[in-house]
Amino acid sequence: MVAVVVAVASLTTVTTALASPYSVTDLGTFGGETSEANAINNAGQVAGTAQTSYTKGGKVLHHAFRYSNGKLTDLSPGGPGSGEPCSGCTQAYAINGFGDVAGSEVSGSGDEYPAVWRANGSPQSVPSPDPDSAAHGINDADEVVGGEGYGEPAWLDSSSGTTTLLKFEHPSFNQGGIAYAINNKGEVVGGASQSYFNAFLYSAGTMHNLGTLGGAASRALALNESGMIVGWSEITGAITEQAFSYHEGIMTDLGTLQGSTTSEALGVNEANEIVGTSGGRAFLYRDGTMTDLNSLIPPSSGWTLTSANGINSSGEIVGTGLDNGVQRGFLLTPNTPPAVETDAASSVSPTTASLNATVNPNGEAVGDCHFEYGSSTAYGSSVPCSSLPGSGDSPVAVSASLTGLEANTTYHVRIVATNANGTSEGSDLTFTTPQTPAAVTSNSGSGLAIGGVLSSEEGKVSPLGIRLASTSLATSDSGMVSIKVNCPAGEASCTGSVTLQTLTAVAAGTPGHHSRKHKAAILTLATGAFTVSGGHVAIVKLHLSRRARELLALSHRLRARAKIIAQVLPGETSYSSQETVVLRLFGVTRGHSAGNG
């Protein structure tokens, strides 16, 4: 049987952007002028700090915020406190998966203390190991890390209130340090003093010095769940900071943006995409390349992005920049074209096929969806999807029907979809149409040709194309009839049988014998089976029954019905057809008078 062949090419999706890769959102303020965005979780919630409309001693007060679903929430409402100029100020540095925010607040005496604002509104106290400290990181277990930096070590506070000091074992000096981040495995990164501040990893109760890029100092500022750590380090022979990544014992210099000599890596997501700042410009480091984020936003936006501080699993980025010259916290949202995947064609016939694919609109309405197809990857023809996939954020099955195809032809096909953010082209797949069932013309000599599908109507070509190539069959004196069976090269094999029967009912008795009466009936004259490999010819020999030989001897010519039953492969559906043939004794010409048939 001719099968539909589907060849899978690369699964790569090619995307052509229409819009800039990112759109920019100004997160706003609480009536003041400036703000900053410091962290983002995988739900798209942002933690940061914004100026309020309150002032104290001529200074504008700033409050920690949580930004979620377009709303900026003040985590320390109530206005200014009393005492020092910044009394009433709060800062937010980190946010966990539940929306709990970690940061600091300033007391009436002007001292800074760690603070946690839970999303459900319940309080969480954070024991402070010194009177001037901030919480810089929080995980989903509400474990909090932080520090003051100099004179006091970094610390880890469990949700039960137990505080662990994080410092290198070195008896000769008093260590200072800050823990900047903690993941859900309880691994902590930061910087601790050992003559100079060095980046550290605290894991399973042990402090690990991560070293430097050849210089004296380094700090680890963020990490993900797989243990990728990022930060900055001084390099050999210079007191300049360069961004690094650290994984499985190897610290890698990420370099700088063109025209800059410094960089810091400030955030990393689970795809190991890294963000930070270099020479006063925000960057994205991905697949070994550092890119200025300012080149990925609309040129007319009015923004200059100065620092990218966090990135989540969706590729959303937060940080600080200048919006028409004013410092503001920003949120970058990827402008994502549709995600597409070409699927295998179905219901393939010699002239028709159904094309299939999936399209994820990625939150933007898909305005165009079509399949390209043709005899090569140049395609040349297209057909629209039967329906558009909408504007959701999950894959939607799409399809289209093709007609007017050429039989026994290989076609290339791919899906193409467009939304406001760009056009995506799916991978190239192929399908092959089967051969068209063809009538078999008579050839000289006796034979049977196989090539299509059977019809049960007498005298017509079956869909398998099986019929006798000649309706005049020569019979030897011993009653042998030879039939040629031809199986097309496109088939694996052809299997079936040929049966010869009388056209009308005849008596089964011997001619001239009248000792008893015989009931008239359709008699089987001969039968034989065949199995032929594709592309080969076999001769099927049928031996006439004694009664058939007797009837043929009387008339020299005998009209009969040839019934053919066949299947292309064993176990598949059998088909049958019938034709009228003339059996004649070898050497008897067509002009010889026929007997009773």
According to the 3-state scheme, what is the secondary structure of 496-514? EEEEEEECCCEECCCCCCC
Q: Report the sign of the C-alpha dihedral through residues 107, 112, 113, 118, in that order.
A: positive
Q: Where do the domains of the chain lie? A: 7-14+340-432, 448-585
- Residues 277 and 284 sit within 8 Å (Cβ to Cβ): no
Check residue 590 and give its pLDDT.
45
Residue by residue, what is the 3-state secondary structure of 334-393?
ECCCCEEEEEEEECCCCCCEEEEEEEECCCCCCCEEEEEEECCCCCCEEEECCCCCCCCC
| Helix, coil or strand: residue 550 | helix
Given this chain, do its domains 7-14+340-432 and 448-585 carry the same CATH topology? yes
Which positions of the chain have pLDDT values less than 50? 1-13, 17, 79-85, 171-173, 438-466, 512-516, 589-597
Check residue 596 and give its pLDDT.
37
- Residues 330 and 23 sit within 8 Å (Cβ to Cβ): no
- Residues 152 and 110 sit within 8 Å (Cβ to Cβ): no
Check residue 162 and give its pLDDT.
82
> Which two tokens mark 66?
């949580």
Check residue 174 and give its pLDDT.
57
Alpha helices in 493-584 (DSSP H): 546-555
Closest to 306 measured CA to CA, from 286, 287, 285, 330: 330
| Helix, coil or strand: residue 293 | helix
Check residue 543 and give its pLDDT.
84
Strands 46-56 and 422-425: unpaired
Q: Provide the 10 A C-beta neighbour count for residue 36.
A: 23
Check residue 483 and give its pLDDT.
72
Strands 144-147 and 154-157: antiparallel
Q: Name the architecture of domain 448-585.
A: Sandwich (2.60)
343-374 core/surface letters (b: 16 or more CB in 10 A; e: else): bbbeebebeebbbbbbbbbbebebeebbbbbe
Check residue 456 and give its pLDDT.
32
Q: Provide the 10 A C-beta neighbour count for residue 513.
A: 9
382 Cβ contact partners less than 8 Å away, ≥ 6 residues apart:
370, 371, 372, 373, 416
Pick the CATH number of 7-14+340-432 from 1.10.357.10, 2.60.40.10, 3.10.20.30, 3.40.50.2300: 2.60.40.10
Cα–Cα distances in Å, from 470 out to 394, 444, 502? 62, 7, 18
